[in-house]
């Protein structure tokens, strides 16, 4: 596709429900990142994939968070037993080169999935 | 761990004027990259400008330029001839060389007044 596509754009969940957020990166992009952006804050790193390999998941806040990219393209971020503190915008970004943009440092971001946990 | 500080939560400026957004960072690394990203209302974040720490020359991209002061750990963004389309949240970000994650500041909301 022309850009990074995320779905759903908006998700309301009751506390305790499981949610799944999808990211479709730019075709051919090797690297894929998930960031969490709380209201009024900058994005915070969650996890990073190089193709299908999850190379860094140090930012995942708890074992309720799980991400996968089984075929090296589409990625899913799953949050189990959602809590109110999980309310945030979840941003997906992709990059053509290894790591954060290689020579350019440019990430291409999606519009985000806004999760509200009631 | 790296930290990025943006001390101006909000700024506004008249169209066609020049505005400077501030960013300071703290790191013990000597080789790293600094970025300014722009997040327009309800739209995706895009890269504005990038600076490599080992380059002394300040980066420029059309109306956007930076003032990189490595010793002071300061990385400000100057927007010249501001336009209505510059209205957005601006995030300063840091990346250690060889790493893959960005560390973002809390952002500055910039409003261009017609």
Please answer whether residues B90 and B37 qualify as being in contact, where contact means their C-beta atoms are separated by less than 8 angstroms. yes
User: Where residue A104 falls among pLDDT bands split at 50, 70, 90?
Assistant: low
**Per-residue pLDDT at A102:** 56
Q: Which of B46, B91, B102 sits opposite A45 (nearest CB)?
A: B102
SS3 annotation, B6-34: CCCCEEEEECCCCEEECCEEECCCCCEEE
Per-residue pLDDT for A90 more than 60?
Answer: yes
Q: Which of B46, B95, B104 sits opposite A43 (nearest CB)?
A: B104
Q: Is B8 on the interface with A (CB under 8 A)?
A: no
**Per-residue pLDDT at A94:** 93
Q: Which residue bears the tokens 């990166």?
A: A25
**Per-residue pLDDT at A117:** 97
Q: Which of B4, B93, B101 sits opposite A48 (nearest CB)?
A: B101
User: Where residue A106 falls among pLDDT bands split at 50, 70, 90?
Assistant: confident
Which residues of chain A make contact with B42, given a CB cutoff of 8 A? 111
Q: Is B25 on the interface with A (CB under 8 A)?
A: no
pLDDT, averaged per 10 consecutive residues of chain B (114 residues), comes to: 94 97 95 94 91 91 96 97 97 89 95 96
DSSP 8-class letter at B37: E
Smallest Cα distance from A41 to chain B, Å: 5
**How far is Cα A104 from Cα B24, in angstroms, rounded to an integer?**
22
Which residues of chain B make contact with A100, given a CB cutoff of 8 A? 95, 99-102
DSSP 8-class letter at B42: T
- Judge: A59–B44 Cβ closer than 8 Å, yes or no: no
Mark residue B48 as left, alpha or beta (left: phi above 0; alpha: psi -120 to 50; beta: remaining): alpha
* Residue ranges of domains in chain A, CATH in brackets: 5-112 (2.60.40.10)
Q: Which of A59, A99, A109 sits opposite B45 (nearest CB)?
A: A109
User: Where residue A6 falls among pLDDT bands split at 50, 70, 90?
Assistant: very high
Q: For A47-72, write each residue's pLDDT tens digit.
A: 999 999 999 999 999 999 999 999 99
**Per-residue pLDDT at A105:** 64
**Per-residue pLDDT at B51:** 94
Please state which of the four CATH numbers 3.30.43.10, 3.40.50.620, 2.60.40.10, 2.30.30.360 is assigned to the domain occupying B3-113. Answer: 2.60.40.10
User: Where residue A99 falls among pLDDT bands split at 50, 70, 90?
Assistant: low
Beta bridge partners of A5: A24
């Amino acid at each position: 596709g022309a850009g990074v596509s995320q779905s759903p754009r908006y998700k309301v969940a009751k506390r305790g429900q499981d949610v799944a957020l999808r990211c479709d990166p730019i075709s051919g992009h090797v690297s894929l990142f998930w960031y969490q952006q709380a209201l009024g804050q900058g994005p915070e790193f969650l996890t990073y994939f190089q193709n299908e390999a999850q190379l860094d998941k140090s930012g995942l806040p708890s074992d309720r968070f799980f991400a996968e990219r089984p075929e090296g393209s589409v990625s899913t971020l799953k949050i189990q037993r959602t809590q109110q503190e999980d309310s945030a915008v979840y941003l997906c970004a992709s990059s053509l080169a290894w790591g954060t943009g290689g020579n350019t440092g440019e990430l291409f971001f999606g519009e985000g999935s806004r999760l509200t946990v009631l | 761990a790296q930290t990025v500080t943006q001390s101006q939560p909000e700024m506004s400026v008249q169209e066609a004027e020049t505005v400077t957004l501030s960013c300071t960072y703290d790191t013990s690394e000597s080789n790293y990259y600094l970025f300014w990203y722009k997040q327009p209302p309800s739209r995706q974040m895009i890269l504005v400008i990038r600076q490599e720490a080992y380059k002394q020359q300040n980066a420029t991209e059309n109306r956007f330029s930076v003032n990189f002061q490595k010793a002071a750990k300061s990385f400000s963004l100057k927007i010249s001839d501001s336009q209505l389309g510059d209205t957005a949240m601006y995030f300063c970000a840091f990346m250690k060389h060889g790493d893959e994650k960005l560390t973002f500041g809390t952002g500055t909301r910039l409003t261009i007044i017609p």
